């Protein structure tokens, strides 16, 4: 029997943007586990030529893109001659609009994924969203485009995918939802006294207690900015006001998020801390398939703990709520200023708590504008990067 078809269904053709990162590598693992249902037809990376070339050879894809144009010749020399190569931001957008593609999974850290995401939507491709910055920066534009083109936005983040699963098939709509409850591990400094936070080193911040992730998202988890970004993303994904989106600290990272309904019932999604679970559901939805992933052993779990976040010591959640409630261009400013501050912390230019300070000061200085056009959002993003960069010196060591 042709591998493309079986009794359960057919292969879904997927373009993967950000294939060499942690989400990308997990996506390739899911595709290996379900070869009869998922076919990767295009891969893209930023500048990891060797890793991308290896993936191209292993998967046999005939389309590959590299964001870093300067390394294009290296990629051409490292892949088979029949592989079509794309380059730069335009190349990513071209890859995202391949005629055969049914779904594009965007796993590009930061705002670089926005253009190919919009291109994919305009081409009528369903979008699996792993880059939360896309919706934080331009949620109004992206969701409006998706509605106009009739394409699906399916979350890949474990928290949003959990909510998506809890709401899947729910007929009552948002009017029956009381709250969305995002869970947070609390990061490596959940129990660290506030007075010790200025002494935090980069190495300490990169030691996440439960997840294996890239540097930027790991730092964001340590500051709770990651959860703040997720709050704003949830607003756009599920059409729920920020006042109904809460965060609870759950150190075991087994309950990935919950939905509380108006009758007091709560639905939760649980699984082991393996990103293959939400990725598989996003790629195979609306079906559930046996992919060989490890199920939970409730006896070994013993207990699940939940705590209130330390809002005063980790102000990212308040900043996110303010940005989401205010709306307009402020979420884009929140996101861009955080990117600048995280880069500065990684470079050793500022202390750990200065990440919050730079973002707060940049948000306070911003004159909020409507974000109904991509132009206004891009202008706010660029302004925030300049403003935040200018404030680094005032908080430097």
CATH code for position 100: 3.40.50.720
pLDDT of residue 170: 73
My answer on whether 170 and 109 are in the same domain is: no
194 and 110 share a domain? no
The answer to the question of residue 155 being in a domain is no
Predicted TM-score (pTM) of the model is 0.92
Tell me if 103 sits within 8 A of 127, measured CB to CB. Answer: yes
Does residue 137 fall inside a structural domain?
no
Tell me: do 122 and 10 sit in the same domain.
Answer: yes
pLDDT at 171: 63
Number of structural domains, the chain?
A: 2
Residue 1's pLDDT is 28
Residue 140 lies in a domain: no
Is residue 236 situated within a structural domain? Answer: yes
pLDDT of residue 110: 67
- Segments in the chain below pLDDT 70: 1-9, 110, 171-172, 394-397
The CATH number of whichever domain residue 308 belongs to comes to 1.10.1740.10
Q: Is residue 283 part of a domain?
A: yes
pLDDT at 210: 75
260 lies in the same domain as 120: no
152 located within any domain: no
pLDDT digits (tens, 9 = 90+) for 187-233: 999 999 999 999 999 999 999 877 777 788 899 999 999 999 999 99
Same-domain status, 76 and 196:
no
CA distance 172 to 153: 20
Residue 316 lies in a domain: yes
pLDDT at 133: 85
Tens-place pLDDT, residues 229-287: 999 999 999 999 999 999 999 999 999 999 999 999 999 999 999 999 999 999 999 99
Domain that holds residue 12: 5-131
Query: Could you tell me where the beta strands, DSSP code E, fall in the chain?
Result: 5-6, 9-10, 12-17, 38-45, 63-66, 84-87, 103-106, 126-129, 153-155, 177-184, 245-249, 255-261, 266-270
User: Does residue 210 sit in the same domain as residue 334?
Assistant: yes
192 Rama class: left (phi>0) / alpha (psi -120 to 50) / beta: beta
Q: Is residue 144 part of a domain?
A: no
């Amino acid at each position: 029997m042709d591998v493309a078809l079986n009794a359960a269904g057919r292969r879904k053709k997927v373009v993967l943007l950000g294939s060499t990162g942690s989400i990308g590598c997990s996506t390739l693992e899911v595709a290996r586990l379900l070869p009869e249902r998922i076919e990767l037809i295009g891969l893209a990376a930023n500048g990891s030529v060797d890793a991308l070339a290896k993936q191209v050879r292993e998967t046999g894809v005939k389309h590959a893109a590299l964001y870093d144009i300067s390394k294009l010749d290296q990629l051409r020399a490292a892949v088979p001659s029949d592989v079509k190569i794309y380059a730069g931001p335009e190349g990513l957008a071209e890859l995202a609009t391949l005629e055969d593609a049914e779904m594009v999974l965007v796993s590009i850290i930061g705002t670089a994924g926005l253009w190919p995401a919009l291109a994919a939507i305009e081409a009528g491709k369903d979008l699996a969203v792993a880059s939360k910055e896309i919706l934080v920066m331009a949620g109004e534009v992206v969701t409006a485009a998706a509605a106009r083109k009739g394409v699906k936005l399916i979350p890949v983040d474990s928290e949003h995918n959990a909510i998506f699963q809890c709401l899947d098939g729910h007929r009552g709509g948002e009017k029956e939802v009381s709250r969305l409850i995002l869970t947070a591990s609390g990061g490596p400094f959940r129990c660290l006294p506030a007075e010790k936070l200025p002494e935090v080193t980069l190495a300490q911040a990169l030691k996440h207690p439960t997840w294996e992730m890239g540097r930027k998202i790991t730092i964001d988890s340590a500051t709770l900015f990651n959860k703040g970004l997720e709050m704003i993303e949830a607003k756009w994904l599920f059409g729920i006001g920020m006042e109904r989106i809460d965060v609870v600290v759950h150190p075991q990272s087994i309950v990935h998020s919950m939905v509380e309904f108006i009758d007091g019932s709560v639905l939760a999604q649980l699984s082991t801390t393996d990103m293959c679970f939400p990725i598989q559901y996003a790629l195979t939805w609306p079906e559930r398939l046996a992919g060989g992933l490890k199920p939970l052993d409730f006896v070994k779990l013993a207990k699940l703990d939940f705590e209130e976040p330390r809002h005063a010591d980790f102000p990212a959640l308040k900043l996110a709520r303010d940005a989401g409630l205010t709306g307009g261009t402020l979420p884009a400013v929140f996101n861009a200023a955080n990117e600048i501050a995280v880069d500065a912390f990684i470079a050793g230019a500022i202390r750990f708590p200065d990440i919050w300070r730079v973002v707060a000061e940049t948000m306070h200085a911003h004159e909020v504008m409507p974000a109904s056009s991509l132009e206004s959002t891009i202008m706010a993003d660029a302004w925030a990067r300049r403003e935040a960069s200018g404030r680094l010196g005032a908080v430097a060591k």
